[in-house]
């Protein structure tokens, strides 16, 4: 099993449980590990055989622009399920963090791992 990873992806979105968090976009940091079952791309050198990480980033940006979650947990779950279903990955690890949201804490967040039902 090969892994596509994406670390320290920062983007703005509306997220949070407080009323102000429904109005003011916040920067979140996303880290992903996405399993990819075939290593065909390693031999073929063809993007058609790879999981195109540019498409993953485009899809996540689309989610962040169009959805508003209260909890980091719910955003992480939505990203995980999107990747499992739309990119045919059997396993994904998703971390989502807020930066400097609580005094004295540089970064806090959630990390989840999910498997597809098919795997």
Ligand X SMILES: Nc1nc2c(c(=O)[nH]1)N=C([C@H](O)[C@@H](O)CO)CN2
Catalog residues that contact ligand X under the rule CB under 6 A: 16-18, 21, 71-73, 98, 101-102
Is residue 106 flagged as an active site residue? no
Which position among 48, 98, 106, 107 bears the catalytic label? Answer: 98
Question: In whole angstroms, how close is the CB of 11 to ligand X at the nearest point?
Answer: 16
Q: How far is the CB of 70 from ligand X (least distance, A)?
A: 7
* Closer to ligand X by Cβ: residue 49 or 77: 77
Strand, helix or coil for residue 87: coil
Q: Is the distance from CB of 41 to CB of 47 less than 8 angstroms?
A: yes
Question: Residue 108 forms beta bridges with which residues?
Answer: 98
User: Hey, which bits of the chain come out as E strands?
Assistant: 2-13, 26-36, 91-102, 105-115
Report the residue closest to ligand X, judged by CB.
16
Tokens standing for residue 80: 């995980």
Residues taking part in catalysis = 98
């Amino acid at each position: 099993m090969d892994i596509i990873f994406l670390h320290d992806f920062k983007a703005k979105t509306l997220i949070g449980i407080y009323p102000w968090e429904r109005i003011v976009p916040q920067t979140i940091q996303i880290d992903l590990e996405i399993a990819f079952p075939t290593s065909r791309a390693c031999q073929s050198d063809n993007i058609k055989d790879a999981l195109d990480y540019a498409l993953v980033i485009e899809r996540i940006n689309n989610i962040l622009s169009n959805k508003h979650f209260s909890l980091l947990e719910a955003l992480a779950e939505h990203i995980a399920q999107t990747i499992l279903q739309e990119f045919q990955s059997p396993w994904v690890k998703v971390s989502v963090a807020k930066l400097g949201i609580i005094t004295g804490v540089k970064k806090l967040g959630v990390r989840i791992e999910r498997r597809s039902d098919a795997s």
